Chains A and B, each alone.
Chain A
């Protein structure tokens, strides 16, 4: 399947049977059959995702008291007005966007480079693929603790030790004490944990490119770099787009790593949207405000994803997200 499913081969072959099939299969099922397939999953989804989301919207219009027996006061749009005036929230949004941009770029560049190299290497392809993927399957909770430990201050911290030995820094850095260096720790975790996923997907796309194309290019005298730039990248364009969108959505949802590494500190300078929302709701008990924050965040994510689809997905009719 891995080769068949690579887009450039599939795109033409795919549309034809699909059209044919739509009217072929139609007479063979009764009208309620599709619902039998949809409903069990949909029921669970409506109960645990859609209903809570609607309830959260309700909460966002109140000064919500969480303790049973206390009355919550309806405040209309006041929570939303406060969100737009809240400088910490916009700083957190800015941090979230920066996190998404930096880690997505890092994961994509490293993932693509690794994929090209692994595709090219003569031996141990599968070994490399497996090992690069290991960080992806580790637990976020565990690796967040681990990165706190790696980036611990003082000369005994592993990162400080390595950088000192390499002569890149003169004295140990208190990584988590300043937002600039704390971001380095948070970004590194994001990139380290995600690069293997990007690599595996790029690698599959690369493996789907027919070798004849490369041979033809080699005969034409194209250099390695030219081939990558003018042949490989355009051929896997849609894979690149898919990885970009998927990682961006993930990047905007960054939470547990920041919560466990800096908790948004020092001085809210490493706050991201979700840690700030969490802090407002559970730290300061402003559940109505936290709900409004989460709605604004969700809106921003949806808009960013749609804009990206427009910008990068132009002309690709079957891109649906």
Chain B
């Protein structure tokens, strides 16, 4: 009996001492993201938002760790392998299902008691990118989409439809292009496939056959191939490089699809350039663009779940969302849409309108591979190395295998 009591006392000591220590010494949580080191986003986060949070929570220190976008996915995986991951991550929405499937992310719908309240406050589209097998593994942090950016000096009125865009090829000056994009990632191809009325898979993401190789999807790829062939669209689609913006500001490329980050960067190098913005030209499927953005997630292995969740709640506050919107990170909160900051904003309007119909890239753990298959198939077509139908049939087979594999 005596030993039992002393054991219990010992237990109490062991349990209580660390808590009392924790109250004295602030807990440090780490937040990994890909804001460019010198960007306004990073400055806002580090100089304004984190101090604001720390003032409200004196027991929590937040350490912000920027990563280069290119090495980020890999650094996250290595750190997870070593069990040395960050507490919170700003994660590209296309990686959420994959990281959730890997077991790296905390299941918020289970472990965050007030999750539903936050889930109800955000746009449903961006929220859906956090779902994996019926549970949610994060909350949206910011959102964006690509709209049709044109140069009013050479294209006085933007095309309403894809046909109108194609018709502009007739009056194209020598050595210039009506449209350009860099590469064949889903980010670049999907607005065309969707606007043509096609898709990659069915709505339940069980099969690609009949969708990615369906009539409309194939027509979209064929359309791009024809435009490249005739020299109306630039070969940036099969390239990699930094020239779409160069051509646009240099006057040789009349239009492109781009996100809201175009404006602040253009401001610094081309302050006098007039940028035109409109919805993605419509096809049979409508004016459909692609949703981008990031989620905020908590590591499954975090040692400070309460503190991490507290910061996650802070990212969903109006103060946080407004501050980040001021530096190009579009908000995800329904409640802010009527805020005069947005109603009076010089260029967010068209992005918010485009977001009404924009769609998310296939939310599936194998998205990374699906995108490679789709992009490679499109490359073959755009290079004239394979007929569109044949390439998309092969892609459908491969994507079906990827969908079945998980």
Contact = CB atoms under 8 A, between A and B. Distances in A.
Given A66-B81, A67-B103, A153-B236, A283 B368 contact: yes
A143 interface: no
Given A70-B103, A282-B74, A284-B369, A152 B241 contact: yes
B243 A152 contact: yes
Given A66-B81, A284-B369, A174 B236 contact: yes
A262 interface: yes
A152 B242 contact: yes
B380 A267 contact: yes
Contact of B250 (A156, A175, A262, A268): A156
B28 interface: no
A266 interface: yes
Given A69-B103, A266-B379, A177 B77 contact: no
Q: Which of B81, B102, B239, B242 has the most CB of A within 10 A?
A: B239
Interface string A168-188: 000000111110000000000
Contacts, number: 73
A67 B243 contact: no
A250 interface: no
Contacts of A148: 241-242
A95 B78 CA distance: 28
A204 interface: no
A266 B74 CA distance: 20
B247 A154 contact: yes
Interface residues of A, number: 27
B317 interface: no
Interface in B74-120: 74, 77-78, 80-81, 83, 102-104
A68 interface: yes
A131 B83 CA distance: 47
Given A67-B102, A282-B74, A153 B81 contact: no
**Secondary structure class of chain A's binding surface, majority of residues:** loop
A126 B369 CA distance: 53
Contacts of B334: none
Interface in B229-243: 235-236, 238-243
A67 B78 contact: no
Interface string B226-267: 000000000110111111001100101000000000000000
Given A68-B83, A282-B77, A176 B239 contact: yes
Nearest to A68: B83
Contacts of A69: 103
Given A154-B246, A156-B246, A67 B81 contact: yes
Contact of A266 (B80, B238, B246, B301): B238
A68 B241 contact: no
B376 interface: yes
A154 B102 contact: no
A284 B369 CA distance: 8
Interface string A256-300: 000000110111100000000000001111000000000000000
Interface in A91-109: none
Interface in A75-134: none
Nearest to B76: A282
Contacts of B239: 153, 174, 176-177
A285 B368 CA distance: 11
A265 B77 contact: no
B241 A282 contact: no
Interface string B365-376: 000110000001
B368 A177 contact: no
Nearest to A262: B240
Contacts of A267: 376, 379-380
A153 B241 contact: yes
Contact of A177 (B83, B102, B235, B380): B235
Q: Which of B73, B238, B241 has the most CB of A within 10 A?
A: B241
Interface in A135-180: 148-149, 152-154, 156-157, 174-178
Contacts of A285: 77, 102
Given A66-B80, A156-B250, A177 B369 contact: no
B79 to A, nearest CB: 10
A153 B242 CA distance: 7
Contacts of A70: 103
A177 B80 contact: no
Contacts of A157: 243
B74 A265 contact: no
A86 to B, nearest CB: 15
A174 B236 CA distance: 8
Contacts of B368: 283-284
A177 B240 contact: yes
Interface in B348-380: 368-369, 376, 379-380
A290 to B, nearest CB: 12
Interface in A202-241: none
A282 B80 CA distance: 12
B104 A67 contact: yes
Interface string B21-34: 00000000000000
B235 A174 contact: yes
Contacts of A283: 73-74, 368
Nearest to A284: B369
Nearest to A282: B74
Contacts of A268: 376
Nearest to A269: B379
B209 to A, nearest CB: 22
A285 B99 CA distance: 11
A157 B239 CA distance: 14
Contacts of B102: 67, 285
Contacts of A154: 241, 243, 246-247, 250, 252
Contact of B241 (A174, A263, A284): A174
A-B pairs with lowest CB-CB distance, top 7: A177-B239, A66-B81, A282-B74, A154-B243, A174-B239, A153-B243, A153-B241
16 contacts: A66-B78, A68-B83, A69-B103, A149-B242, A153-B236, A153-B239, A153-B241, A157-B243, A174-B243, A175-B241, A176-B241, A177-B236, A263-B240, A282-B74, A283-B368, A285-B102
Given A152-B243, A267-B380, 10 more contacts: A66-B78, A68-B83, A148-B242, A152-B241, A152-B242, A156-B246, A174-B236, A175-B241, A177-B240, A282-B73
Interface of B: 73-74, 77-78, 80-81, 83, 102-104, 235-236, 238-243, 246-247, 250, 252, 301, 368-369, 376, 379-380
Interface of A: 66-70, 148-149, 152-154, 156-157, 174-178, 262-263, 265-268, 282-285
